[in-house]
């Protein structure tokens, strides 16, 4: 039976574990929020914005991304962008999302942490109530800033500790090694939070190793460059460390030259616990299902691979075991239905 990949992926239950709420502001919403808040934009039309989303590396993207954050001012803004993403994810049959927000990019502009968190959390509650999609919140520290700033964010977010799943590390990777944040990650773990770090996107394999061995992360965000170090690949495979891979992000930030050279298939063959995610979907031209399909088309991933990626996403989530088991059963049911005559 020929696989109708688009149909199979569309109905495949899955989790998304690596996306940035600020990176999901579609240009239409950006204009709406800019008008609402009287924030001037450098573009006049939605088309102009999309034209501007051509990047040559991570930094060229981060410059635009931080600039786009200026339209987020009120609690309602943070609610609206989060609710829009969760609605779109629900349409991709994402059953559970673990989302990053970067408070430092907002508090530095004079937006209160309370404004950010209350808006996001209200949207997460609404999405669960209205669509049944569950979600968790990860606070991302910016690695180009001093470790003290990350520690101050951890302290400031304590009043919301019961609503925060964990902490991550993002931003300009090269020159800001994981070791710079050893105390911050130890403090997060000591307080019982889950921890992840972006590593091996533009940085070397040694950054991935440091994240695992020194920061003791629960997941690696990206992880591509681990393939340069066979001993590290063996270690990650043995530990089962999840990698939250973002194929279209890698393409748009020129981490890979073209999709046929994306390392996802190699990762799966090496026994790595890889998952597929959208990272910053409005900037990189695709939501999670677009990422699954791009890999199917360019790398020849078959129904077994696509199913494995969805199963990995559930098992790599921070959901309790019972809910994981229920979602895995849903995946198996979808797979069985696809193969029924």
Residue positions annotated with a catalytic role: 201
Taking the least distance from each CB to Zn ion, the nearer of 15 and 331 is 15
CB of 117 to Zn ion, least distance (A): 19
DSSP letters for 178-224: GGGGHHHHHHHHHTT-EEEEEESSSS-HHHHHHHHHTS--SEEEE-G
- Helices 303-315 and 321-339: crossing angle in degrees, nearest 10, is 170
Secondary structure of 134-180 as H, E, C letters: EEEEEEEEECCCCHHHHHHHHHHCHHHHHHCCEEEEECCCCCCCHHH
Of 177-185, 271-279, 295-303, 305-313, the window that binds Zn ion (rule: CB under 5 A) is 271-279
Comparing every residue's Cβ against Zn ion, the nearest one is: 279
Contact criterion met (CB below 8 Å) for 101 and 65: no
279 binds Zn ion (CB under 5 A): yes
> Which residue, among 259, 202, 245, 258, has the nearest Cα to 225 in the 3D structure?
202
As measured in angstroms, the least distance from the Cβ of 264 to ligand HPA is 16
Binding status of residue 196 toward ligand HPA by CB under 6 A: no
- Taking the complex as a whole, the smallest distance from the CB of residue 5 to ligand HPA amounts, in Å, to 25
Q: In the set 70, 198, 209, 262, which binds ligand HPA (CB under 6 A)? A: 198
Q: Looking at beta carbons only, is 75 or 279 nearer to Zn ion?
A: 279
80: nearest Cα among 30, 128, 45: 30
Q: In the stretch 238-267, what mask flags binding to Zn ion with x, by CB under 5 A?
A: ------------------------------
Contact of residue 98 among Zn ion, ligand HPA, none (CB under 5-8 Å per partner type): none
Q: Binds 95, which of Zn ion, ligand HPA, none (CB < 5 to 8 A, cut-off by type)? A: none
Please, what is the minimum distance in Å from the beta carbon of residue 303 to ligand HPA?
Answer: 29
Q: Which residue is nearest to ligand HPA (CB)?
A: 170
Residues 45-104 that bind ligand HPA (CB under 6 A): 58
**Among 58, 124, 114, 138, CA closest to 89:** 124
Q: Is 249 in the site for ligand HPA (CB under 6 A)?
A: yes
d(CA 335, CA 167) in angstroms, rounded, equals 33
Shortest approach of Zn ion to residue 215 CB, angstroms?
16
CB 73 within 8 A of CB 111: yes
Burial label, 167 (beta-carbon count in 10 A; 0-12, 13-18, 19+): buried
Nearer to ligand HPA, 33 or 58 (CB): 58
Report in angstroms how near the CB of residue 22 gets to Zn ion at its nearest: 10
Q: Please state, in angstroms and as integers, the Cα–Cα distance from residue 319 to each residue in 20, 59, 95, 110, following that order.
A: 19, 33, 11, 33
Biggest CA-to-CA distance, the chain: 60
Number of shown-chain residues binding Zn ion (CB under 5 A): 1
Which of ligand HPA, Zn ion, none does residue 58 bind (CB under 5 to 8 Å by kind)? ligand HPA
- Interface residues with ligand HPA (CB under 6 A) are 20, 23, 58, 170-171, 198, 201, 249, 279-280
- Interface residues with Zn ion (CB under 5 A) are 279
């Amino acid at each position: 039976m020929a696989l109708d990949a688009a149909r199979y992926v569309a109905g495949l239950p899955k989790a998304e574990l690596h996306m940035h709420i600020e990176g999901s502001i579609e240009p239409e919403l950006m204009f709406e929020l800019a008008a609402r808040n009287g924030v001037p934009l450098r573009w006049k039309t939605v088309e102009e914005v999309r034209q501007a989303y051509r990047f040559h590396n991570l930094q060229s993207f981060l410059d635009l991304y931080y600039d786009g954050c200026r339209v987020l001012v009120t609690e309602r803004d943070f609610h609206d962008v989060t609710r829009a993403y969760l609605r779109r994810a629900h349409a991709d049959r994402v059953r559970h999302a673990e989302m990053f927000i970067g408070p430092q990019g907002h508090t530095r502009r004079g937006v209160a942490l309370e404004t950010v968190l209350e808006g996001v959390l209200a949207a997460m509650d609404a999405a669960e109530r209205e669509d049944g999609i569950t979600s968790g919140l990860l606070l991302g520290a910016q690695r180009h800033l001093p470790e003290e700033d990350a520690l101050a964010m951890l302290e400031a977010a304590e009043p919301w500790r019961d609503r925060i799943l964990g902490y991550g590390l993002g931003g300009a990777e090269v020159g800001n090694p994981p070791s710079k944040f050893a105390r911050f990650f130890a403090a997060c773990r000591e307080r019982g939070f889950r921890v992840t770090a972006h590593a091996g996107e533009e940085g070397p394999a040694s950054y991935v190793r440091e994240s695992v061995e020194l920061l003791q992360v629960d997941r690696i965000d990206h992880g591509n460059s681990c393939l340069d170090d066979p001993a590290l690949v063996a270690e990650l495979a043995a530990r089962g460390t999840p990698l939250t891979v973002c194929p279209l992000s890698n393409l748009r930030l020129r981490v890979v030259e073209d999709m046929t050279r994306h390392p996802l298939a190699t990762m799966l063959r090496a026994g790595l616990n890889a998952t597929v995610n959208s990272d910053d979907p409005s900037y990189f031209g695709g939501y999670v299902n677009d990422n699954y399909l791009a890999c199917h088309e360019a790398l020849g991933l078959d129904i077994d691979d696509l199913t494995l990626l969805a199963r990995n996403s559930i098992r790599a989530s921070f959901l309790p075991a019972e809910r994981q088991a229920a979602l895995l059963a849903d995946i198996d049911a979808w797979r069985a239905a696809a193969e029924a005559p």
